[in-house]
Structure 1
Amino acid sequence: MLNTVDWALLFMRVSVSLLLLKVHGLPKLLHFSQQVQVIEDPFGLGGAMTVSLAVFAEVLCPLLIIFGVFTRLACLPVIVLLLVSLLLVHPQWSLEEGQFAWLLLILFTALTIAGGGRIAAGRSVFAWQNSLQWSH
């Protein structure tokens, strides 16, 4: 039986992932070549690789999180991206200037700790997989 925590985790997973996707991920994906020219490259990987890693963390990972597939694992690249942004790319930001990133960091870290909850496509995949393992 589902409880309020499951519904809250679903709401948090979907809302925070859609926010990241809309505000950061899709603009990078849709304007990839422009982003390559302007993105900060703190590790010297080159613009294309840096944007590709950002698109992975801000597009693919949020989609996995929305559907509840590998939620904890999918949160890790987002957390790393946010930490790099806050600590290396924009260390001069005040708390007020970085509040959006800090809030995202808090929410994705909470999802890493709590997991996606029981309302998740990933749970049905694993339940199906487990039923196959037990039937042997």
Structure 2
Amino acid sequence: MSTNPLLSPQDALVALMVAASASNEHIETSELVKINQTINHLPIFADFDADRLPTLSRAVFDLFEEEDGLDALFGLLREALPAELNETAYALACDVVAADGTLDEPELRFLEEVRFELNVDRLNAAAIERGARARHMTLG
């Protein structure tokens, strides 16, 4: 592991949220709102420069245009994220895809890949997913 990763841990978390939003090739306003709320309210982002969001988003979109872009993204995430943030990363990805109230097949496959690539235990992942679902329930 490099001592000077290309992304900070906060950059990696933001990049993963953007990737989660883009995973079904359709970015919903509710997902963008969730990303911004997360950056503005969670303690992990207290010293994050929100002006980096457009740059990180562009980097994710550029990677998604590459043939092995998703693998490259996961490589960057693994390098930048300390292991103790893997479940946090998965939880943030779940919150973003749950924000619009629907989960489609590409989003489910993306979350499965995140779970695998970040080595999130299946039982812990199920609890995280249930929490995301509970936080994004609507009436009716």
Normalising by the smaller structure, the TM-score range is 0.3 to 0.5
**Normalization by structure 1: what TM-score?**
0.33
**Normalization by structure 2: what TM-score?**
0.32
Which one has a bigger Cα radius of gyration? 1
Q: Which has the higher helix share?
A: 1
